[in-house]
Amino acid sequence: MPDFRNLPSKLPTAKTSIFSVMSQLARKHNAIDLSQGFPNFDTDPKLKELVFNAMKEGYNQYPPMNGVPELREQISDKIEALYGVRYKVDSEITLTAGATGALYDAITAFVNKGDEVIVFKPAYDSYEPTIKSNGGKPVLVQMKGKDFKIDWQEVKEKINNRTKMLIINTPHNPSGTVFTKEDMQQLEALLKGTDIILLSDEVYEHIIFDAIEHQSASRFPGLAERAIVCSSFGKTFHNTGWKMGYCVAPEELMKEIWKIHELTAFCVNHPMQKAFAEYLKNPENYLNLGSFYQEKRDKFLKLLQGSKFTGIPAKGTYYQVLNYAEITTEKDTEFAERLTIEHHLASIPVSVFNFEQKDNKQLRFCFAKTDETLEKAAEILHKF
């Protein structure tokens, strides 16, 4: 028998993702699950039918490595209509296994041993392990204050000749904040004259509220020329379990991303790509998403009025961060656990995304849920 107990781990400090931990705990204790980010309502039946039709029509073998041409065409049209820049259909767009696939491919393609990558905290949990597994070093910058602002002077001080990449995420998970046009212009000025690659995680690009415009890196020429922009159909079309996403980038960068994409997945789900190519023809299928989720956000916050949970309304994403300092001094990880086990409501403790796991007494609640679920959750939160 081989003995694997002492095998050196490639990621010795990586733990099971908080999303798996909290979802499992929610299932175990039969809790309302506002932890992991996914809707508890179904994707559009029309979209399911399109997938089924594509299967029946025989699109069941490998599609082209970078995706089916008609879907790449639709993506290119959509970005041009929204952000005013055209990506080349044949060489600058790639369909990936969720945005996770795109993030992994992009980081792995460029980050080598000793390279530094600037990451803003709190940060989505896949960035740092992927950087480290490639021998890179995450350089962390904490977003500041209740509204999670970036101190661009601090970013400037962290940039040096080892900085290979900088990762941004807007609208931002978990805080629900968004980058403003000024933020993007500051970043554009900072990166000018450098060879730093920008990885822009824009999976919530269509989930943005209060008539705020999404500031895609694609809109800014000084960013677009160095940016890999990632998006997720799972978030936009309520089907996170399909694991479909894409990235766009200038040709020279995409050529390198393909080398990794060919190793990790080679290509992704053919019938689903056919279906999305058809479905994207109707912009209403994604342009109404902001108002749809804004209603959910408003409903959730209204239901919480008069409770001891407080927070700045999310400007984007389907997460609402709530402070509970008025209720208890417990650590957020402990409180989240107790809330799940004793009160049957699961959330995500924000500290796990923070620099040095700083505990600001904040929990993240996913409001991509039916009104009935949100009502039940609010009832529980009012008990405190």
39 binds ligand GLN, rule: CB under 6 A = no
Picked from ligand GLN, ligand PMP, none, the partner binding residue 99 (CB below 5 to 8 A depending on kind) is ligand PMP
19 binds ligand GLN, rule: CB under 6 A = yes
| C-beta separation of 238 from 42 below 8 A | yes
* Cβ nearer to ligand PMP, comparing 130 with 323: 130
Picked from ligand GLN, ligand PMP, none, the partner binding residue 17 (CB below 5 to 8 A depending on kind) is ligand GLN
- Residue from 21, 32, 36, 134 that binds ligand GLN (CB under 6 A)? 36
**CA 67 vs CA 97, 102, 204, 268, 309: distances in Å:** 11, 13, 21, 7, 45
Q: Closest distance between ligand GLN and the C-beta of residue 173, in Å? A: 5
CB neighbours (10 Å) of residue 6? 5
Decide: helix, strand or coil at residue 191.
helix
* Cβ nearer to ligand PMP, comparing 228 with 303: 228
Binding mask 213-232 toward ligand PMP (x if CB under 6 A, else -) reads -------------------x
| C-beta separation of 56 from 207 below 8 A | no
Q: Closest distance between ligand GLN and the C-beta of residue 98, in Å? A: 9
100 binds ligand PMP, rule: CB under 6 A = yes
| C-beta separation of 112 from 162 below 8 A | no
- Distance separating the N- and C-terminal Cα atoms of the chain: 54
| C-beta separation of 311 from 321 below 8 A | yes
Handedness of CA 54, 49, 101, 200 (dihedral sign): positive
Picked from ligand GLN, ligand PMP, none, the partner binding residue 218 (CB below 5 to 8 A depending on kind) is none
What are the residues whose beta carbons fall under 8 Å from the beta carbon of 140, sequence distance 6 or more?
A: 119, 120, 121, 123, 355
63 binds ligand PMP, rule: CB under 6 A = no
Residues that bind ligand PMP (CB under 6 A): 37, 98-100, 124, 169, 173, 201, 203, 232, 234-235, 240, 245
Residues that bind ligand GLN (CB under 6 A): 17, 19, 36-37, 173
